[in-house]
Structure 1
Amino acid sequence: MSFFSPFFRNPITDLTGPLVSAQTGLRCADFEMRLMNCYEAYGYPKGMEVCQAYYDDFKECCTREKQMTRVQLIQNERERQAKPEYEKPPAMHAF
């Protein structure tokens, strides 16, 4: 994810700027603010390595990748444990 400012600023870019951020939603707004405050404190190039933990938290909040992986693993385990064990079928031409 890259954060950038527009090439030139005008009232239209000021109005449409928040559409690209996570500040409009309630779920990830705090994570994005912590990340932006860290980038502002260290600068973007140095902040890429210093603020990696904030970036990972923000990315997880937006994508929920770890959460969805965990949910899928739990569902797979439930299916595995709920399957009844059947007897082996008879050998071919055993009748």
Structure 2
Amino acid sequence: MNNLSPFFSESKTTGLCAGVRTAQRSLRCRDFELQFFDCLQAYGVDNYKSREKCKDYLEDFYECMDAQKAAARWRMMVWKRQKEYLLGKRSKEDYYPEGTLDGSYLGAKPVH
């Protein structure tokens, strides 16, 4: 990969693709990315201290971008609900918990 770096650094498309690898267009995750880069700026990029101090910021940023922990939590809830159904602890009617409309989109009153 080192022999390809001059090609990429001198390419005409680098200016066009400069913002592709950042999350600044994402309204949801841009603050997490900025916090991580602020931490790197404070502690340095290539040392052990920055990896240790900025680990939580990086994990928060990755979770915002990929939502792997949220997806794993959802899969675990589905698995547990299915297991309870198969063991007879849940009936078919109560397989899915009944939601409430208080404060949800469907139950909200229009604001005029």
**Structure 2: 5+ residue stretches without partners:** 1-5, 89-112
More helix by share: 1
Tell me the equivalent position of 2:98. Answer: none
- The alignment covers a number of residue pairs equal to 80
TM-score scaled to structure 1, two decimals? 0.69
SS of match in other structure, 2:26? coil
Classify 1:42/1:64 alpha carbon distance in 2 versus 1 (closer, same or farther; 3 Å). same
Question: 1:61 aligned to 2:64?
Answer: yes
Shift, 1:64, TM fit: 1.2
From 49, 52, 61, the equivalent of 2:55 is 52
For 1:30 and 1:9, locate their aligned partners in 2 and report how far apart those are by CA, in whole Å: 31
Q: Determine which structure has more spread, i.e. the larger CA radius of gyration.
A: 1
- Post-superposition Cα deviations, 1:55-84, rounded to whole Å, max 9, x if no partner, equal 111111122111111000100111122236
Three-state SS of the structure 2 residue aligned to 1:45 is coil
Cα RMSD of the aligned pairs, angstroms, is: 2.3
- Letter in structure 1 aligned against 2:45: Y
